[in-house]
């Protein structure tokens, strides 16, 4: 049974207002009218308020509000496939480009599936994620299921990211890290983003923290083109300087208060360059993917070893999980405060 407070019709409005202030009204149920009386549904645990406002009643037949059906329910209703339970329950939607993982069992229905998901989720193009992310440039392996243009603008945390989702990765799992980086106290700093991509970290940092300067280095010409576009559409030209090329050759040295190493797969091989980029003292954000059994030691030891080889000491570290990367493997980031010895 569900608690409610019974009041006279003439008192409903004032009692409702007071109960709202107590956060006592149960928003899932409807008010029930019965002649001159109205039952106001309240949340469990709020029964004591009844004596102040009316009479406590226990509803045997509560009336629940209808919930709008979740997108997946609507999708299932519109699709007739042999194994509906295998339909994707999760997806990535960047601007108007949708990325789906479709299991082999539904292979023959993939175009139909794409069409219905696109209609319900409001996408223009649908890509099938068929092989994850590949290679030095971290490129996605995808197949077009609907449309032939995957260039889109994705809005996140007040930042506009323009990119071609069929050629450039965008890790939605890294969102917390992008947000965290955006608000670091870096106002008077010079920052070097060694693996800038389309500006995943550089642009939010520039937009929200407005540091003195960010050198954003990117080797992949396609990502670099979007990096430049994103600098322009987010109006941070005065802060972010894009650099095309390999960071080991093209990043300026001995300039940075902060170095961002947002790359996974062999990132440790770039640590010595990071120490050449940093000033006498600063912070390095070192990312890596690491088997859980090697945490927290391995990434921290890698930074310490590179520091020693570079005549620096590590004066403080903190390690954070960015996301789960694979079964038993985490993507982590070490914030290392370092100083020249
Ligand atoms: C895709 S981003 C990582 C993105 C970020 N961690 C995220 O998911 O939000 C890594 C970028 O580093 C670039 N890259 C790889 N090796 C590089 C190098 N030696 N110099 C400059 N850029 C490099 C890749 O082309 C890629 O665009």
Report DSSP letters for 161-176, one per residue.
EEEETTTS---GGGHH
Nearest partner of 126 among 138, 139, 111, judged by Cα: 111
Q: What is the pLDDT of residue 132?
A: 75
Q: What confidence category does residue 231 fall into, taking pLDDT thresholds of 50, 70 and 90?
A: very high
Give me the chain's average pLDDT, please. Answer: 94
Q: What is the pLDDT of residue 20?
A: 83
Query: Residue 137 C-alpha to ligand 1 middle, in angstroms?
Result: 6
pLDDT digits (tens, 9 = 90+) for 13-71: 999 988 888 888 998 899 999 889 999 999 988 888 888 899 999 999 899 887 767 89
Q: What confidence category does residue 135 fall into, taking pLDDT thresholds of 50, 70 and 90?
A: confident
- 150 Cβ closer than 6 Å to some ligand 1 atom: no
Q: What is the pLDDT of residue 48?
A: 87
Q: What is the pLDDT of residue 195?
A: 98
- 223 Cβ closer than 6 Å to some ligand 1 atom: yes
Nearest partner of 171 among 184, 161, 185, judged by Cα: 161
Atom of ligand 1 nearest to the CA of 270: 19
Strands (E), the chain: 2-8, 32-34, 37-41, 55-59, 92-94, 97-100, 125-134, 139-146, 151-156, 159-164, 190-193, 213-218, 240-244, 256-261, 278-291, 312-326, 329-340
Instruction: State mean pLDDT over 112-130.
Output: 96
Instruction: State mean pLDDT over 178-202.
Output: 96
The full set of domain ranges for the chain reads 2-59, 71-149, 171-340
- 273 Cβ closer than 6 Å to some ligand 1 atom: no
Q: What is the pLDDT of residue 83?
A: 85
Report DSSP letters for 273-315, one per residue.
HHHHHEEEEEEEEEEEEEEGGGTTHHHHHHHHHHHHHTTEEEE
- 197 Cβ closer than 6 Å to some ligand 1 atom: yes
Query: What percentage of the chain carries pLDDT values higher than 90?
Result: 81
Query: Residue 290 C-alpha to ligand 1 middle, in angstroms?
Result: 18
Atom of ligand 1 nearest to the CA of 197: 27
Does residue 245 carry a pLDDT above 90? yes
At 42 the three-state DSSP class reads strand
225, containing H or E segment: helix 221-233
Q: What is the pLDDT of residue 269?
A: 98
Atom of ligand 1 nearest to the CA of 136: 15
**Is the separation of the CB atoms in 89 and 72 below 8 Å?**
yes
Q: What is the pTM of this model?
A: 0.81
- 229 Cβ closer than 6 Å to some ligand 1 atom: no
Q: What confidence category does residue 333 fall into, taking pLDDT thresholds of 50, 70 and 90?
A: very high
Q: What is the pLDDT of residue 111?
A: 96
- 220 Cβ closer than 6 Å to some ligand 1 atom: yes
More confident residue, 24 or 256: 256
Task: Find the range with the poorest average confidence among 16-20, 288-292, 330-334.
Answer: 16-20
Instruction: Give me 304's structure tokens.
Output: 């310490």
Atom of ligand 1 nearest to the CA of 171: 8
Q: What is the pLDDT of residue 293?
A: 97
Query: Residue 256: what are its φ and ψ, rounded to 5°?
Result: -100, 140
More confident residue, 136 or 104: 104
CATH of domain 71-149: 3.30.300.110
Nearest CA to ligand 1 atom 2: 197
pLDDT digits (tens, 9 = 90+) for 70-82: 899 899 999 999 8
Does residue 298 carry a pLDDT above 90? yes
CA distance 129 to 114: 12
Instruction: State mean pLDDT over 176-198.
Output: 96
- Residue 286, C-beta contacts closer than 8 angstroms, at least 6 positions apart: 261, 267, 268, 271, 274, 299, 302, 303, 333, 334, 336
Instruction: State mean pLDDT over 190-206.
Output: 98
Task: Find the range with the poorest average confidence among 80-84, 113-117, 126-130.
Answer: 80-84
Mutate to test the pocket of ligand 1, among 154, 169, 219 (most ligand atoms within 8 A of CB): 219
- 161 Cβ closer than 6 Å to some ligand 1 atom: no
Nearest CA to ligand 1 atom 14: 195
Residue with the two structure tokens 């106290």: 185
Task: Find the range with the poorest average confidence among 111-120, 170-179, 328-337.
Answer: 170-179
Q: Which architecture does CATH list for 2-59? A: 2-Layer Sandwich (3.30)
- 145: phi > 0 → left, psi -120 to 50 → alpha, else beta; which? alpha
Atom of ligand 1 nearest to the CA of 169: 1
At 324 the three-state DSSP class reads strand
pLDDT digits (tens, 9 = 90+) for 140-153: 899 999 999 999 99
Q: Which fold has domain 171-340?
A: Rossmann fold (3.40.50)
- 286 Cβ closer than 6 Å to some ligand 1 atom: no
Query: Residue 136 C-alpha to ligand 1 middle, in angstroms?
Result: 8
Atom of ligand 1 nearest to the CA of 246: 20
């Amino acid at each position: 049974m569900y608690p409610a407070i019974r009041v006279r019709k003439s008192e409903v409005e004032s009692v409702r207002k007071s109960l709202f202030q107590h956060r006592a009204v149960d928003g899932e149920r409807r008010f029930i009218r019965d002649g001159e009386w109205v039952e106001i549904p309240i949340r469990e645990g709020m029964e004591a308020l009844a004596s102040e406002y009316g009479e406590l009643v226990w509803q045997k037949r509560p009336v629940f509000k209808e919930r709008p059906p979740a997108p997946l329910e609507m999708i299932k209703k519109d699709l007739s496939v042999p194994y509906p339970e295998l339909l994707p329950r999760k997806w990535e939607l960047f601007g108007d480009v949708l990325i789906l993982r479709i299991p082999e069992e539904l292979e023959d229905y993939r175009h139909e599936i794409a069409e219905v998901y696109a209609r319900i989720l409001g996408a223009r193009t649908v890509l099938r994620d068929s092989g994850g992310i590949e290679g030095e440039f971290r490129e996605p392996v995808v197949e077009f299921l609907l449309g032939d243009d995957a260039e889109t603008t994705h809005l996140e945390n007040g930042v506009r990211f323009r990119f071609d989702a069929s050629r450039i990765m965008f890790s939605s799992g890294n969102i917390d890290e992008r947000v965290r980086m955006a608000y670091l106290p870096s106002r008077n700093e010079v920052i070097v983003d060694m693996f800038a991509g389309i500006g995943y970290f550089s642009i939010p940092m520039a937009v929200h923290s407005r540091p003195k300067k960010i050198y954003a280095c990117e080797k992949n010409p396609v990502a670099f083109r979007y990096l430049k576009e994103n600098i322009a559409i987010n109006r941070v030209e005065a802060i972010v300087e894009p650099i095309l090329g390999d960071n080991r050759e093209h990043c300026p040295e001995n300039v940075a208060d902060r170095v961002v190493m947002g790359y996974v797969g062999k990132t440790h091989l770039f640590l010595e360059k990071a120490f050449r980029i940093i000033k006498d003292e600063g912070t390095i954000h070192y990312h890596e993917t690491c088997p859980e059994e090697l945490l927290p030691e391995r990434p921290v030891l890698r930074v310490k070893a590179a520091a020693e080889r570079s005549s620096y000491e590590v004066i403080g570290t903190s390690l954070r999980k960015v996301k789960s990367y694979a079964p038993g493997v985490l993507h982590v980031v070490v914030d290392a405060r370092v100083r020249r010895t």
